[in-house]
Amino acid sequence: MRFILAASAFLLLGTSCAAPAQPAVTVNPTPGYVWQRHPFHGAKLFLDRGSAGAHWQAGNGATWLEPITATPQAVWLTSEWDLVRLPTLVRQAKEQEALLVVVTYFIPNRDCGRNGADTGSHYLSWIDRVAATLGPTPAVVIMEPDAVPADCFTPARAELLRHGVEKLTGGGHYVYLDAGHARWLSTAEAARRLLASGIQHANGFSLNVANRQTTESNQQYGLELSNLVGDREFVIDTSRNGLGPPPDDPYRDDEWCNPWRQGLGEDPTTLKLPMRTAALLWIKRPGESDGPCRGETGFDFSPVQARNLVLGTLRLPSSVREVARSAEVSVPSPAPTRQKPDPTG
């Protein structure tokens, strides 16, 4: 999934301060807003022991993958097929007494291409199935990464998202509409789109999904955006932002896709966070490829990408990184560097 890294100027908003302890439920004073609930307060996050990374680790004795596979991550729902496994995940979350975080990623024209649901009615029918399969056990839903900030955002898409938000929140689930990241839309434009897409009925919004912008920049951006949409809380994806974004080189348009320079970000947490930051989550699953680039052929789990992340995570013990360095995985050849044009012609 490609994210636009320089669609708007970076906004330096100042450092937000820590928030006081939040009650379980607050009343948002803005007319038309539903009650805001806080699902992450005191919650244990679900750990999916059946992930692709966990299976690869078990089959290859890859102890160096433990920092990834032993960390709670979101579960992505991207097709009809993904709903087959969802009842098992719901049951396992109950057994762990943990909060399940899922990502819906099936909007028509997903990624501004011919992906996702065939039609709007197909999408809403799929959302109905998601809500029915989740059942009465509340889950967190990260709703449609990049659908709101994308270039192909339209009033029709906003209407689909609004219906989806209302369906899922009406079923007792906690919905966070995706709002891109700190270097995409201005907060004013992001707020306009979120309001059209039903943020009034959602718990809040998500930031940095599958991206590598810093946690601090997203917290600053998120607080300003929250001020514009009725003080809604937000979550930040820290799965792969340990080294921050790749160098911003206008002559390279492939740095977003499986960059060599990357590392795991902060572990998921709901504790001691700045104002209105509800949680730091691993939403994008570390080790999954960004797409067919740098020797990868698709979007599946890649031990090469996982190893690069572990090697780039300096907070990990050197012994773990050394085991990863010596692991036998197929490493693609570096992509050739594009030459900058000669300004003299």
Does 6 score more than 50 pLDDT?
A: no
Which residue in the list 48, 82, 237, 290 is annotated as catalytic? 290
- Digit-coded pLDDT (tens) for 189-247: 999 999 999 999 999 999 999 999 999 999 999 999 999 999 999 999 999 999 999 87
Residues 6 or more apart whose Cβ sits within 8 Å of residue 321? 64, 310, 311, 313
What pLDDT is stored for residue 138 in this prediction? Answer: 94
pLDDT category, 116, cuts 50, 70, 90?
very high
What is the pLDDT averaged over residues 312-318? 95
Distance CA 222, CA 278 (A): 11
**Is 253 or 116 the better-scoring residue by pLDDT?**
116
Give residue-wise pLDDT tens across range 271-299.
Answer: 999 999 999 999 999 999 999 998 999 99
Mean pLDDT value across the chain: 87
Going by pLDDT thresholds of 50, 70 and 90, the confidence category of residue 95 is very high
Q: How far is CA 19 from CA 234, 271, 273, in A?
A: 13, 11, 7
Residue 323 has pLDDT above 70, yes or no: yes
Amino acid at the residue 218: N
Q: Is residue 112 predicted with pLDDT exceeding 50?
A: yes
For residue 16, the 8-state DSSP code is: P
**pLDDT tens across 241-268, in order?**
999 998 766 566 557 899 988 999 999 9
- Residues in CB range of 83: below 8 A, 6 or more apart: 77, 126, 129, 130, 133
Cβ-contact 209, 284 below 8 angstroms: yes
Residue 30 pLDDT level (bands cut at 50, 70, 90): low
User: What is d(CA 259, CA 325) in angstroms, rounded to the nearest whole number?
Assistant: 17
Q: Which residues of 122-143 are buried (b: 16+ CB within 10 A; e: fewer)?
A: ebeebbeebbebbeeeebbbbb
Which candidate, 147, 162, 136, places its Cα nearest to that of 103? 147
Given a cut of 50, whether residue 125 has pLDDT beyond it is yes
pLDDT in the model for residue 343: 33
Residue 20 has pLDDT above 90, yes or no: no
| 136 compared with 252, residue with greater pLDDT | 136
> In the predicted model, is pLDDT for residue 22 greater than 80?
no
Q: Which domains does the chain have, with CATH numbers?
A: 25-325 (3.20.20.40)
Q: Is 146 designated active site?
A: yes
Q: What local confidence, expressed as pLDDT, does residue 17 receive? A: 36
CB neighbourhood size of 150 (10 A) = 25
111 is catalytic: yes
Catalytic position from the list 146, 237, 253, 300: 146
**Of the residues 48, 82, 111, 237, which is catalytic?**
111
Is the confidence at residue 177, as pLDDT, over 80? yes
Banded model confidence at residue 12, pLDDT cuts 50, 70, 90: very low
Amino acid 253: pLDDT: 54
- Would you call 128 a catalytic residue per the annotation? no
Q: Is the pTM of this model over 0.85?
A: yes
Mean pLDDT across 73-94 = 97
- Asked if residue 341 has pLDDT above 90, the reply is no
Q: Which of 214, 240, 208 is nearest to 306 (CA)?
A: 240
In this prediction, residue 329 carries a pLDDT of 84
**pLDDT at residue 255 in the model:** 72
| DSSP 8-state class, residue 119 | S
